[in-house]
Structure 1
Amino acid sequence: MLDPRLLRAFAAIADANSFTLAADRLSMTQSTISQQLARLEEAVGQVLIDRAARPIQPTAAGERLLGYARRILALQEEAASALRDPAGTVSLRIGVPEDLASAPMAQTFADFARRHREIHLDVTAGLSRELMRRYRSGELDIAIAKEATASPDHRASFPEAMAWFESAEAPPAWPIPVPLVAFPPAGLYREAMFQRLEDEQLGWYIAFTGNSLHNVLVAVEAGLGLSLLPSNAVAGYRVRRHAPFEGEPPIAVSIYAGEGTGPLGELVQQMAAVLAARCGQPCKAPVRL
Protein backbone atom coordinates (compact mmCIF):
# COMPACT_ATOMS: atom_id res chain seq x y z
CA MET A 1 0.00 0.00 0.00
CA LEU A 2 1.34 3.43 -0.92
CA ASP A 3 1.60 5.81 2.04
CA PRO A 4 -0.52 8.94 1.33
CA ARG A 5 2.08 11.09 3.12
CA LEU A 6 4.75 9.98 0.64
CA LEU A 7 2.38 10.52 -2.30
CA ARG A 8 1.60 14.02 -1.03
CA ALA A 9 5.33 14.85 -0.87
CA PHE A 10 5.87 13.47 -4.38
CA ALA A 11 2.92 15.43 -5.84
CA ALA A 12 4.09 18.63 -4.15
CA ILE A 13 7.59 18.25 -5.63
CA ALA A 14 6.20 17.51 -9.09
CA ASP A 15 3.83 20.49 -8.96
CA ALA A 16 6.45 22.94 -7.65
CA ASN A 17 9.36 21.60 -9.74
CA SER A 18 11.44 22.30 -6.64
CA PHE A 19 12.28 20.51 -3.39
CA THR A 20 12.56 23.85 -1.59
CA LEU A 21 9.16 25.21 -2.70
CA ALA A 22 7.45 21.86 -2.05
CA ALA A 23 8.92 21.71 1.45
CA ASP A 24 7.64 25.23 2.17
CA ARG A 25 4.14 24.37 0.94
CA LEU A 26 3.98 21.30 3.18
CA SER A 27 5.61 23.08 6.15
CA MET A 28 8.54 20.66 6.40
CA THR A 29 12.31 20.78 5.87
CA GLN A 30 13.92 20.05 2.51
CA SER A 31 15.74 17.05 3.95
CA THR A 32 12.44 15.58 5.22
CA ILE A 33 10.66 15.92 1.89
CA SER A 34 13.70 14.43 0.11
CA GLN A 35 13.61 11.46 2.48
CA GLN A 36 9.88 10.94 1.84
CA LEU A 37 10.45 10.95 -1.94
CA ALA A 38 13.31 8.45 -1.54
CA ARG A 39 11.06 6.15 0.53
CA LEU A 40 8.36 6.29 -2.13
CA GLU A 41 10.86 5.54 -4.91
CA GLU A 42 12.15 2.57 -2.90
CA ALA A 43 8.58 1.32 -2.40
CA VAL A 44 7.71 1.43 -6.11
CA GLY A 45 11.17 0.46 -7.35
CA GLN A 46 11.33 3.38 -9.78
CA VAL A 47 13.01 6.81 -9.94
CA LEU A 48 10.15 9.28 -9.91
CA ILE A 49 11.91 12.67 -10.10
CA ASP A 50 14.72 13.61 -12.48
CA ARG A 51 16.97 15.50 -10.06
CA ALA A 52 19.45 16.45 -12.81
CA ALA A 53 16.86 18.38 -14.83
CA ARG A 54 16.56 22.15 -14.41
CA PRO A 55 13.97 22.66 -13.16
CA ILE A 56 13.50 19.18 -11.74
CA GLN A 57 10.73 17.16 -13.40
CA PRO A 58 8.93 13.83 -13.01
CA THR A 59 10.45 10.92 -14.88
CA ALA A 60 8.32 8.84 -17.23
CA ALA A 61 7.50 6.53 -14.30
CA GLY A 62 6.77 9.60 -12.18
CA GLU A 63 4.34 10.95 -14.76
CA ARG A 64 2.46 7.63 -14.74
CA LEU A 65 2.24 7.59 -10.94
CA LEU A 66 1.35 11.29 -10.59
CA GLY A 67 -2.21 10.89 -11.88
CA TYR A 68 -2.87 7.99 -9.51
CA ALA A 69 -1.29 9.91 -6.62
CA ARG A 70 -3.59 12.88 -7.14
CA ARG A 71 -6.66 10.64 -7.33
CA ILE A 72 -5.66 8.78 -4.15
CA LEU A 73 -5.08 12.06 -2.31
CA ALA A 74 -8.39 13.48 -3.54
CA LEU A 75 -10.29 10.38 -2.38
CA GLN A 76 -8.55 10.53 0.99
CA GLU A 77 -9.64 14.16 1.43
CA GLU A 78 -13.18 13.31 0.30
CA ALA A 79 -13.40 10.49 2.86
CA ALA A 80 -12.01 12.70 5.63
CA SER A 81 -14.48 15.45 4.72
CA ALA A 82 -17.39 13.00 4.80
CA LEU A 83 -16.41 11.84 8.26
CA ARG A 84 -16.06 15.42 9.50
CA ASP A 85 -19.58 16.24 8.27
CA PRO A 86 -22.09 15.14 10.94
CA ALA A 87 -25.04 15.15 8.51
CA GLY A 88 -27.30 12.13 8.93
CA THR A 89 -25.32 10.46 11.70
CA VAL A 90 -28.37 10.25 14.01
CA SER A 91 -31.67 8.68 12.94
CA LEU A 92 -35.06 9.92 14.16
CA ARG A 93 -37.97 7.63 13.22
CA ILE A 94 -41.43 9.21 13.02
CA GLY A 95 -44.87 7.76 12.35
CA VAL A 96 -47.76 9.95 11.15
CA PRO A 97 -51.33 9.00 10.13
CA GLU A 98 -51.78 9.32 6.38
CA ASP A 99 -54.20 12.27 6.54
CA LEU A 100 -51.87 14.17 8.91
CA ALA A 101 -48.91 13.94 6.52
CA SER A 102 -49.95 17.39 5.31
CA ALA A 103 -48.00 20.21 3.69
CA PRO A 104 -47.57 22.07 7.04
CA MET A 105 -46.32 18.88 8.72
CA ALA A 106 -43.93 18.13 5.86
CA GLN A 107 -42.63 21.72 6.03
CA THR A 108 -42.03 21.27 9.76
CA PHE A 109 -39.91 18.20 9.04
CA ALA A 110 -37.99 20.02 6.27
CA ASP A 111 -37.25 23.03 8.50
CA PHE A 112 -36.10 20.77 11.32
CA ALA A 113 -33.81 18.81 8.98
CA ARG A 114 -32.18 22.03 7.79
CA ARG A 115 -31.49 23.16 11.36
CA HIS A 116 -30.24 19.74 12.48
CA ARG A 117 -28.11 18.34 9.67
CA GLU A 118 -26.75 15.67 12.01
CA ILE A 119 -30.22 14.09 12.22
CA HIS A 120 -31.62 11.83 9.51
CA LEU A 121 -35.43 11.88 9.54
CA ASP A 122 -37.23 8.65 8.64
CA VAL A 123 -40.97 9.44 8.36
CA THR A 124 -43.62 6.77 7.78
CA ALA A 125 -47.32 7.38 7.05
CA GLY A 126 -49.76 4.67 8.03
CA LEU A 127 -52.70 3.56 10.15
CA SER A 128 -52.73 4.76 13.74
CA ARG A 129 -52.91 1.33 15.33
CA GLU A 130 -49.95 0.04 13.34
CA LEU A 131 -47.97 3.19 14.13
CA MET A 132 -48.67 2.78 17.85
CA ARG A 133 -47.68 -0.88 17.72
CA ARG A 134 -44.37 0.12 16.18
CA TYR A 135 -43.89 2.93 18.71
CA ARG A 136 -44.57 0.62 21.66
CA SER A 137 -42.12 -1.94 20.27
CA GLY A 138 -39.38 0.68 19.94
CA GLU A 139 -39.44 0.91 16.14
CA LEU A 140 -40.49 4.59 16.18
CA ASP A 141 -39.15 7.51 18.25
CA ILE A 142 -42.19 9.74 17.70
CA ALA A 143 -45.70 8.71 16.75
CA ILE A 144 -48.94 10.56 16.13
CA ALA A 145 -52.02 8.41 16.68
CA LYS A 146 -55.74 8.87 16.35
CA GLU A 147 -57.57 7.08 19.18
CA ALA A 148 -60.79 7.20 21.16
CA THR A 149 -58.91 8.52 24.21
CA ALA A 150 -55.24 9.41 24.68
CA SER A 151 -53.02 7.09 26.75
CA PRO A 152 -51.50 8.60 29.93
CA ASP A 153 -47.99 8.84 28.43
CA HIS A 154 -48.96 11.17 25.58
CA ARG A 155 -46.94 14.36 25.08
CA ALA A 156 -49.86 16.35 23.66
CA SER A 157 -53.40 15.57 22.57
CA PHE A 158 -55.99 17.49 20.56
CA PRO A 159 -59.66 16.79 19.79
CA GLU A 160 -60.45 16.38 16.10
CA ALA A 161 -64.06 16.91 15.02
CA MET A 162 -65.64 13.99 13.14
CA ALA A 163 -68.69 13.87 10.87
CA TRP A 164 -70.43 11.64 8.35
CA PHE A 165 -70.12 12.68 4.73
CA GLU A 166 -71.89 11.86 1.49
CA SER A 167 -71.69 13.06 -2.09
CA ALA A 168 -72.90 16.61 -2.71
CA GLU A 169 -75.32 15.02 -5.20
CA ALA A 170 -76.47 12.16 -2.97
CA PRO A 171 -80.18 11.22 -2.97
CA PRO A 172 -82.38 12.43 -0.06
CA ALA A 173 -82.35 8.97 1.51
CA TRP A 174 -79.91 6.06 1.23
CA PRO A 175 -81.16 2.53 0.54
CA ILE A 176 -80.98 -0.18 3.17
CA PRO A 177 -78.52 -1.79 3.63
CA VAL A 178 -76.44 1.41 3.66
CA PRO A 179 -73.33 1.36 1.44
CA LEU A 180 -70.17 2.46 3.26
CA VAL A 181 -66.82 3.78 2.06
CA ALA A 182 -64.15 2.70 4.54
CA PHE A 183 -60.48 2.35 5.29
CA PRO A 184 -58.99 -1.17 5.51
CA PRO A 185 -59.55 -3.42 8.57
CA ALA A 186 -57.92 -2.05 11.76
CA GLY A 187 -58.70 1.51 10.69
CA LEU A 188 -60.16 3.45 13.60
CA TYR A 189 -62.93 5.18 11.65
CA ARG A 190 -64.05 1.86 10.20
CA GLU A 191 -65.05 0.35 13.54
CA ALA A 192 -66.74 3.59 14.66
CA MET A 193 -68.80 3.52 11.45
CA PHE A 194 -69.95 -0.04 12.07
CA GLN A 195 -70.89 0.78 15.67
CA ARG A 196 -72.96 3.80 14.63
CA LEU A 197 -74.93 1.82 12.03
CA GLU A 198 -75.57 -0.93 14.56
CA ASP A 199 -76.73 1.66 17.13
CA GLU A 200 -79.11 3.01 14.49
CA GLN A 201 -80.23 -0.59 13.81
CA LEU A 202 -79.49 -0.18 10.13
CA GLY A 203 -78.06 -2.80 7.81
CA TRP A 204 -74.87 -1.92 5.96
CA TYR A 205 -72.19 -3.26 3.62
CA ILE A 206 -68.75 -2.12 2.47
CA ALA A 207 -69.06 -0.67 -1.02
CA PHE A 208 -65.48 0.62 -1.29
CA THR A 209 -62.27 0.24 0.70
CA GLY A 210 -59.56 2.85 0.22
CA ASN A 211 -55.98 2.83 1.51
CA SER A 212 -55.70 6.62 1.53
CA LEU A 213 -57.84 9.55 2.58
CA HIS A 214 -57.89 10.81 -1.00
CA ASN A 215 -59.19 7.48 -2.33
CA VAL A 216 -61.91 7.38 0.31
CA LEU A 217 -63.01 10.95 -0.41
CA VAL A 218 -63.06 10.38 -4.17
CA ALA A 219 -65.31 7.37 -3.63
CA VAL A 220 -67.64 9.38 -1.37
CA GLU A 221 -67.65 12.23 -3.88
CA ALA A 222 -68.67 9.79 -6.61
CA GLY A 223 -71.64 8.62 -4.54
CA LEU A 224 -70.44 5.10 -3.70
CA GLY A 225 -71.51 5.44 -0.07
CA LEU A 226 -71.28 7.19 3.30
CA SER A 227 -68.10 7.60 5.33
CA LEU A 228 -67.06 8.89 8.75
CA LEU A 229 -64.16 11.34 8.35
CA PRO A 230 -62.38 14.25 10.07
CA SER A 231 -64.40 17.41 9.43
CA ASN A 232 -61.35 19.44 8.40
CA ALA A 233 -60.11 16.85 5.89
CA VAL A 234 -62.78 17.26 3.20
CA ALA A 235 -61.94 20.70 1.80
CA GLY A 236 -61.78 20.67 -1.99
CA TYR A 237 -64.06 17.64 -2.42
CA ARG A 238 -67.70 17.78 -3.54
CA VAL A 239 -69.12 16.24 -0.38
CA ARG A 240 -71.54 17.36 2.32
CA ARG A 241 -72.44 16.31 5.84
CA HIS A 242 -74.98 13.52 6.17
CA ALA A 243 -77.51 15.30 8.38
CA PRO A 244 -79.21 12.22 9.95
CA PHE A 245 -75.91 11.12 11.54
CA GLU A 246 -74.95 14.30 13.40
CA GLY A 247 -73.43 14.33 16.88
CA GLU A 248 -70.31 12.19 16.38
CA PRO A 249 -67.86 12.63 19.29
CA PRO A 250 -64.40 14.02 18.47
CA ILE A 251 -61.42 11.73 18.21
CA ALA A 252 -58.14 12.29 20.08
CA VAL A 253 -55.07 13.11 18.00
CA SER A 254 -52.11 12.42 20.28
CA ILE A 255 -48.32 12.67 20.05
CA TYR A 256 -46.09 10.12 21.74
CA ALA A 257 -42.33 10.40 22.16
CA GLY A 258 -39.70 8.60 24.19
CA GLU A 259 -38.15 11.75 25.64
CA GLY A 260 -39.01 15.42 25.83
CA THR A 261 -35.65 17.21 25.68
CA GLY A 262 -33.11 18.16 23.02
CA PRO A 263 -33.87 18.10 19.28
CA LEU A 264 -36.54 15.40 19.72
CA GLY A 265 -38.41 17.59 22.21
CA GLU A 266 -38.08 20.56 19.85
CA LEU A 267 -39.61 18.57 17.00
CA VAL A 268 -42.46 17.32 19.19
CA GLN A 269 -43.28 20.94 20.09
CA GLN A 270 -43.34 21.93 16.43
CA MET A 271 -45.47 18.94 15.42
CA ALA A 272 -47.90 19.79 18.23
CA ALA A 273 -48.16 23.36 16.92
CA VAL A 274 -49.17 22.01 13.48
CA LEU A 275 -51.85 19.84 15.06
CA ALA A 276 -53.11 22.73 17.20
CA ALA A 277 -53.46 24.91 14.10
CA ARG A 278 -55.31 22.08 12.37
CA CYS A 279 -57.77 21.85 15.25
CA GLY A 280 -58.16 25.61 15.53
CA GLN A 281 -57.43 28.11 18.29
CA PRO A 282 -59.70 26.59 20.99
CA CYS A 283 -57.78 23.30 21.07
CA LYS A 284 -54.30 24.63 21.87
CA ALA A 285 -52.72 22.51 24.58
CA PRO A 286 -49.32 22.40 26.31
CA VAL A 287 -46.80 19.74 25.41
CA ARG A 288 -45.72 17.56 28.31
CA LEU A 289 -41.94 17.40 28.57
Structure 2
Amino acid sequence: MGHIDRTNSRLFELDLLRALVTVADCGSFTTAALRLSSTQSTVSQKVRRLEELAGHRLLERGNRDVLPTDAGETVLGYARRLLSLNDELHEALDGASVAQIVRIGVPDDFAAGRTTRHLAEFSRRFPHIKLEVTAGLSRDLAGSYDRGELDLVLLKQRRNSRDAVARWTEKTRWVDSLRSPAFDLDPLPIVTFPPRGLYRDEMIAALESVGRRWRISFTSSSLSGIQDAIADGMGIGLLPLRAVTGEHLVLPQSAGLPEVDMFEVAIIHRPSAGPVITALAESFSALLEQERGS
Protein backbone atom coordinates (compact mmCIF):
# COMPACT_ATOMS: atom_id res chain seq x y z
CA MET A 1 0.00 0.00 0.00
CA GLY A 2 1.19 3.49 -0.76
CA HIS A 3 1.99 6.26 1.68
CA ILE A 4 -1.03 8.03 3.14
CA ASP A 5 -1.28 11.41 4.82
CA ARG A 6 -2.12 10.74 8.48
CA THR A 7 -2.66 14.37 9.48
CA ASN A 8 -6.39 14.04 8.95
CA SER A 9 -6.76 10.33 9.57
CA ARG A 10 -5.64 9.74 13.15
CA LEU A 11 -9.04 8.62 14.44
CA PHE A 12 -9.74 4.91 14.24
CA GLU A 13 -13.48 4.30 14.21
CA LEU A 14 -14.66 1.76 16.74
CA ASP A 15 -16.93 0.17 14.16
CA LEU A 16 -13.90 -0.59 11.97
CA LEU A 17 -11.92 -1.93 14.94
CA ARG A 18 -14.82 -4.17 15.95
CA ALA A 19 -14.96 -5.62 12.44
CA LEU A 20 -11.23 -6.44 12.56
CA VAL A 21 -11.47 -8.07 16.02
CA THR A 22 -14.48 -10.14 15.02
CA VAL A 23 -12.84 -11.41 11.82
CA ALA A 24 -9.65 -12.28 13.72
CA ASP A 25 -11.64 -14.10 16.41
CA CYS A 26 -13.76 -16.01 13.91
CA GLY A 27 -10.94 -16.65 11.43
CA SER A 28 -13.44 -16.01 8.66
CA PHE A 29 -15.17 -13.06 7.02
CA THR A 30 -18.31 -15.13 6.50
CA THR A 31 -18.62 -16.13 10.16
CA ALA A 32 -17.74 -12.61 11.32
CA ALA A 33 -20.51 -11.19 9.11
CA LEU A 34 -23.05 -13.52 10.73
CA ARG A 35 -21.90 -12.52 14.23
CA LEU A 36 -22.09 -8.83 13.36
CA SER A 37 -25.48 -9.22 11.61
CA SER A 38 -23.93 -7.77 8.50
CA THR A 39 -22.85 -8.91 5.02
CA GLN A 40 -19.47 -10.29 4.09
CA SER A 41 -18.83 -7.47 1.63
CA THR A 42 -19.59 -4.84 4.27
CA VAL A 43 -17.21 -6.45 6.76
CA SER A 44 -14.51 -6.67 4.07
CA GLN A 45 -14.96 -2.98 3.25
CA LYS A 46 -14.56 -2.03 6.91
CA VAL A 47 -11.36 -4.02 7.26
CA ARG A 48 -9.96 -2.49 4.04
CA ARG A 49 -10.84 0.99 5.31
CA LEU A 50 -9.03 0.26 8.57
CA GLU A 51 -5.98 -0.98 6.66
CA GLU A 52 -5.96 2.26 4.70
CA LEU A 53 -6.07 4.26 7.93
CA ALA A 54 -3.31 2.14 9.50
CA GLY A 55 -1.13 2.18 6.40
CA HIS A 56 -0.51 -1.57 6.76
CA ARG A 57 -2.06 -4.83 5.72
CA LEU A 58 -3.67 -6.20 8.86
CA LEU A 59 -5.00 -9.58 7.75
CA GLU A 60 -3.62 -12.33 5.55
CA ARG A 61 -6.45 -13.95 3.62
CA GLY A 62 -5.58 -17.60 3.09
CA ASN A 63 -7.52 -20.37 1.41
CA ARG A 64 -9.10 -21.51 4.66
CA ASP A 65 -8.20 -19.13 7.50
CA VAL A 66 -7.79 -15.41 7.90
CA LEU A 67 -4.79 -14.60 10.11
CA PRO A 68 -3.48 -11.27 11.45
CA THR A 69 -0.18 -9.90 10.19
CA ASP A 70 2.42 -8.55 12.61
CA ALA A 71 0.90 -5.09 12.22
CA GLY A 72 -2.52 -6.67 12.60
CA GLU A 73 -1.52 -8.18 15.95
CA THR A 74 -0.45 -4.73 17.13
CA VAL A 75 -3.71 -3.12 16.01
CA LEU A 76 -5.74 -5.97 17.55
CA GLY A 77 -4.19 -5.38 20.98
CA TYR A 78 -5.14 -1.71 20.95
CA ALA A 79 -8.51 -2.42 19.34
CA ARG A 80 -9.54 -4.78 22.14
CA ARG A 81 -8.57 -2.21 24.77
CA LEU A 82 -10.45 0.60 23.00
CA LEU A 83 -13.56 -1.53 22.58
CA SER A 84 -13.39 -2.56 26.24
CA LEU A 85 -13.13 1.07 27.34
CA ASN A 86 -16.09 1.92 25.12
CA ASP A 87 -18.15 -0.79 26.82
CA GLU A 88 -17.07 0.43 30.26
CA LEU A 89 -18.13 3.95 29.36
CA HIS A 90 -21.58 2.75 28.32
CA GLU A 91 -21.94 0.83 31.58
CA ALA A 92 -20.88 3.84 33.61
CA LEU A 93 -23.35 6.12 31.84
CA ASP A 94 -26.13 3.58 32.12
CA GLY A 95 -25.47 3.33 35.85
CA ALA A 96 -25.34 7.10 36.26
CA SER A 97 -28.70 7.49 34.53
CA VAL A 98 -30.33 4.97 36.84
CA ALA A 99 -28.72 5.79 40.17
CA GLN A 100 -30.41 8.20 42.55
CA ILE A 101 -28.25 9.90 45.15
CA VAL A 102 -29.73 10.29 48.64
CA ARG A 103 -27.81 12.60 50.97
CA ILE A 104 -28.10 11.72 54.65
CA GLY A 105 -26.89 13.46 57.80
CA VAL A 106 -26.42 11.62 61.09
CA PRO A 107 -24.86 12.59 64.44
CA ASP A 108 -21.43 11.19 65.24
CA ASP A 109 -22.76 8.60 67.67
CA PHE A 110 -25.04 7.18 64.94
CA ALA A 111 -22.28 6.93 62.32
CA ALA A 112 -21.34 3.31 62.99
CA GLY A 113 -22.63 0.04 64.38
CA ARG A 114 -26.35 -0.46 63.94
CA THR A 115 -26.68 2.53 61.64
CA THR A 116 -24.14 1.12 59.20
CA ARG A 117 -25.88 -2.25 59.21
CA HIS A 118 -29.25 -0.59 58.56
CA LEU A 119 -27.84 1.40 55.65
CA ALA A 120 -26.23 -1.74 54.23
CA GLU A 121 -29.58 -3.53 54.36
CA PHE A 122 -31.26 -0.52 52.75
CA SER A 123 -28.69 -0.58 49.92
CA ARG A 124 -29.46 -4.23 49.29
CA ARG A 125 -33.17 -3.40 49.03
CA PHE A 126 -32.49 -0.46 46.70
CA PRO A 127 -29.34 -1.39 44.72
CA HIS A 128 -29.67 1.58 42.36
CA ILE A 129 -29.61 4.12 45.18
CA LYS A 130 -26.31 5.73 46.10
CA LEU A 131 -26.15 6.84 49.74
CA GLU A 132 -23.96 9.79 50.70
CA VAL A 133 -23.67 9.94 54.50
CA THR A 134 -22.39 12.96 56.41
CA ALA A 135 -21.64 12.62 60.12
CA GLY A 136 -21.19 15.55 62.47
CA LEU A 137 -22.69 17.78 65.12
CA SER A 138 -26.46 18.12 64.97
CA ARG A 139 -26.26 21.92 64.66
CA ASP A 140 -24.05 21.59 61.57
CA LEU A 141 -26.27 18.91 60.05
CA ALA A 142 -29.34 21.09 60.62
CA GLY A 143 -27.64 23.98 58.82
CA SER A 144 -26.72 21.75 55.88
CA TYR A 145 -30.30 20.48 55.68
CA ASP A 146 -31.71 24.02 55.73
CA ARG A 147 -29.38 24.97 52.88
CA GLY A 148 -30.70 22.05 50.82
CA GLU A 149 -27.45 20.08 51.02
CA LEU A 150 -29.04 17.03 52.70
CA ASP A 151 -32.23 15.13 51.88
CA LEU A 152 -32.79 13.48 55.25
CA VAL A 153 -31.28 14.15 58.67
CA LEU A 154 -31.25 12.40 61.99
CA LEU A 155 -30.89 15.16 64.57
CA LYS A 156 -30.44 15.42 68.30
CA GLN A 157 -32.30 18.53 69.40
CA ARG A 158 -34.23 20.13 72.22
CA ARG A 159 -37.73 18.72 72.27
CA ASN A 160 -40.08 19.98 69.57
CA SER A 161 -37.62 22.59 68.33
CA ARG A 162 -38.52 21.80 64.71
CA ASP A 163 -41.03 19.67 62.82
CA ALA A 164 -40.09 16.02 62.37
CA VAL A 165 -41.60 12.93 60.76
CA ALA A 166 -40.70 10.93 63.90
CA ARG A 167 -39.11 11.66 67.26
CA TRP A 168 -37.90 9.83 70.36
CA THR A 169 -36.74 11.02 73.78
CA GLU A 170 -32.95 10.97 74.01
CA LYS A 171 -31.64 9.08 77.04
CA THR A 172 -28.63 10.84 78.57
CA ARG A 173 -26.38 9.98 81.50
CA TRP A 174 -23.86 11.83 83.64
CA VAL A 175 -20.59 9.94 83.27
CA ASP A 176 -17.17 10.00 84.91
CA SER A 177 -13.92 8.15 84.29
CA LEU A 178 -13.89 4.58 85.53
CA ARG A 179 -10.15 4.59 86.31
CA SER A 180 -9.58 8.26 87.23
CA PRO A 181 -12.83 9.72 88.64
CA ALA A 182 -13.10 13.51 88.79
CA PHE A 183 -16.47 13.89 90.54
CA ASP A 184 -15.04 14.76 93.98
CA LEU A 185 -12.84 17.59 92.68
CA ASP A 186 -13.79 21.18 93.53
CA PRO A 187 -14.45 23.01 91.35
CA LEU A 188 -15.86 20.13 89.35
CA PRO A 189 -14.14 19.80 85.94
CA ILE A 190 -16.54 19.23 83.06
CA VAL A 191 -15.99 18.00 79.51
CA THR A 192 -18.32 19.45 76.92
CA PHE A 193 -18.94 20.58 73.39
CA PRO A 194 -18.02 24.16 72.35
CA PRO A 195 -20.44 27.09 72.86
CA ARG A 196 -23.87 26.41 71.31
CA GLY A 197 -23.01 22.71 71.34
CA LEU A 198 -25.58 20.18 72.49
CA TYR A 199 -25.87 19.60 76.27
CA ARG A 200 -23.42 22.39 77.21
CA ASP A 201 -25.85 24.99 78.56
CA GLU A 202 -28.02 22.32 80.16
CA MET A 203 -25.02 20.81 81.97
CA ILE A 204 -23.99 24.17 83.40
CA ALA A 205 -27.56 25.03 84.46
CA ALA A 206 -27.95 21.63 86.15
CA LEU A 207 -24.71 21.99 88.13
CA GLU A 208 -25.55 25.51 89.26
CA SER A 209 -29.02 24.40 90.31
CA VAL A 210 -27.46 22.10 92.94
CA GLY A 211 -24.75 24.56 93.98
CA ARG A 212 -21.76 22.74 92.50
CA ARG A 213 -18.83 24.90 91.51
CA TRP A 214 -17.55 23.94 88.07
CA ARG A 215 -14.94 24.73 85.47
CA ILE A 216 -14.68 23.66 81.82
CA SER A 217 -11.58 21.50 81.57
CA PHE A 218 -11.95 20.28 77.99
CA THR A 219 -14.00 21.05 74.91
CA SER A 220 -14.24 19.24 71.60
CA SER A 221 -16.51 19.25 68.55
CA SER A 222 -15.93 15.51 68.22
CA LEU A 223 -18.01 13.02 70.17
CA SER A 224 -15.05 10.63 70.27
CA GLY A 225 -12.93 13.43 71.70
CA ILE A 226 -15.50 13.99 74.45
CA GLN A 227 -15.68 10.27 75.18
CA ASP A 228 -11.90 9.92 75.42
CA ALA A 229 -11.44 13.00 77.59
CA ILE A 230 -13.99 11.72 80.13
CA ALA A 231 -12.44 8.25 80.11
CA ASP A 232 -8.98 9.74 80.71
CA GLY A 233 -10.14 11.65 83.81
CA MET A 234 -10.38 15.16 82.35
CA GLY A 235 -13.77 15.66 83.97
CA ILE A 236 -17.38 14.50 83.99
CA GLY A 237 -19.74 14.92 81.08
CA LEU A 238 -23.22 14.29 79.79
CA LEU A 239 -23.48 11.63 77.11
CA PRO A 240 -26.27 9.90 75.22
CA LEU A 241 -26.70 6.43 76.64
CA ARG A 242 -25.51 4.78 73.40
CA ALA A 243 -22.20 6.69 73.65
CA VAL A 244 -21.31 5.40 77.14
CA THR A 245 -18.39 2.95 76.94
CA GLY A 246 -16.77 0.44 79.27
CA GLU A 247 -14.23 3.10 80.26
CA HIS A 248 -16.95 5.30 81.73
CA LEU A 249 -18.62 5.28 85.13
CA VAL A 250 -22.30 6.19 85.02
CA LEU A 251 -22.98 8.45 88.00
CA PRO A 252 -25.90 7.21 90.12
CA GLN A 253 -28.81 9.34 91.32
CA SER A 254 -27.15 9.46 94.75
CA ALA A 255 -24.46 11.70 93.21
CA GLY A 256 -27.08 14.45 93.37
CA LEU A 257 -26.93 15.63 89.75
CA PRO A 258 -30.27 16.53 88.15
CA GLU A 259 -31.55 14.40 85.31
CA VAL A 260 -31.30 16.12 81.93
CA ASP A 261 -34.15 14.87 79.76
CA MET A 262 -35.13 17.72 77.44
CA PHE A 263 -33.52 16.27 74.31
CA GLU A 264 -34.88 14.11 71.53
CA VAL A 265 -33.73 12.31 68.40
CA ALA A 266 -35.72 13.43 65.37
CA ILE A 267 -35.99 12.23 61.78
CA ILE A 268 -36.52 15.10 59.37
CA HIS A 269 -37.15 15.24 55.65
CA ARG A 270 -39.15 17.52 53.36
CA PRO A 271 -42.87 16.92 52.76
CA SER A 272 -42.12 16.55 49.04
CA ALA A 273 -39.71 13.64 49.64
CA GLY A 274 -40.18 10.68 47.31
CA PRO A 275 -40.76 7.02 48.18
CA VAL A 276 -37.05 6.20 48.54
CA ILE A 277 -36.45 8.84 51.20
CA THR A 278 -39.69 7.86 52.92
CA ALA A 279 -38.52 4.24 53.00
CA LEU A 280 -35.18 5.37 54.43
CA ALA A 281 -36.97 7.32 57.17
CA GLU A 282 -38.92 4.18 58.03
CA SER A 283 -35.65 2.25 58.24
CA PHE A 284 -34.24 4.81 60.67
CA SER A 285 -37.47 4.63 62.67
CA ALA A 286 -36.99 0.89 63.04
CA LEU A 287 -33.43 1.50 64.20
CA LEU A 288 -34.52 3.96 66.87
CA GLU A 289 -37.29 1.65 68.04
CA GLN A 290 -34.68 -1.08 68.51
CA GLU A 291 -32.44 1.27 70.45
CA ARG A 292 -35.28 2.34 72.69
CA GLY A 293 -36.15 -1.27 73.42
CA SER A 294 -32.58 -2.37 74.05
What TM-score do the two structures reach when normalised by structure 2? Answer: 0.85
Amino acid paired to 2:244:
V
1:280 aligns with 2:293: yes
Aligned residues: 281
Deviation readout 1:180-219 (Å, 9 max, x if unpaired): 1112333211121122223334432111224443433343
Partner of 1:253: 265
1:198 aligns with 2:208: yes
**SS of 1:188's equivalent?**
coil
Percent identity of the aligned residues? 40
Within a 5 Å distance, the mapping from 1:207-246 to structure 2 comes to: 207-242=217-252, 243-246=255-258
Q: 1:37 to 1:218 in 2, by over 3 A?
A: closer
**SS of 1:80's equivalent?**
helix
Deviation readout 1:53-109 (Å, 9 max, x if unpaired): 543323333233222222212221222222233598332211111112241111111
- TM-aligned CA deviation for residue 171 of structure 1: 7.0
1:46 aligns with 2:59: no
Instruction: Report the Cα distance in structure 2 between the residues aligned to 1:43 and 1:19, rounded to whole angstroms.
Output: 20
- TM-aligned CA deviation for residue 157 of structure 1: 0.6
**SS of 1:215's equivalent?**
helix
Q: Is the 8 A contact 1:97 1:144 kept in 2?
A: yes
* Unaligned stretches of 5+ residues in structure 2: 1-10
What TM-score do the two structures reach when normalised by structure 1? Answer: 0.86
Amino acid paired to 2:277:
L
- TM-aligned CA deviation for residue 31 of structure 1: 1.6
Deviation readout 1:259-286 (Å, 9 max, x if unpaired): 44311111111112111222238xxxxx
**SS of 1:245's equivalent?**
coil
Q: Is the 8 A contact 2:173 2:239 kept in 1?
A: yes
Partner of 2:21: 11
Amino acid paired to 2:167:
S
Deviation readout 1:22-77 (Å, 9 max, x if unpaired): 11222211122122222222333333223355433233332332222222122212
Instruction: Report the Cα distance in structure 1 between the residues aligned to 2:180 and 2:41, rounded to whole angstroms.
Output: 93
1:267 aligns with 2:285: no
Q: 1:157 to 1:14 in 2, by over 3 A?
A: same
**SS of 1:179's equivalent?**
strand
- TM-aligned CA deviation for residue 149 of structure 1: 1.7
Partner of 1:153: 163
Instruction: Report the Cα distance in structure 2 between the residues aligned to 1:66 and 1:101, rounded to whole angstroms.
Output: 49
Partner of 2:109: 99
Partner of 2:100: 90
Deviation readout 1:150-182 (Å, 9 max, x if unpaired): 345311110012232233467796343221111
Amino acid paired to 1:272:
S
Q: Is the 8 A contact 1:163 1:231 kept in 2?
A: yes
Within a 5 Å distance, the mapping from 1:180-195 to structure 2 comes to: 180-195=190-205
RMSD: 2.6
Instruction: Report the Cα distance in structure 2 between the residues aligned to 1:121 and 1:115, rounded to whole angstroms.
Output: 12
2:43 alignment partner, one of 33, 42, 60: 33
Amino acid paired to 1:271:
F
Partner of 1:285: none
Q: 1:44 to 1:194 in 2, by over 3 A?
A: same
* Unaligned stretches of 5+ residues in structure 1: 282-289
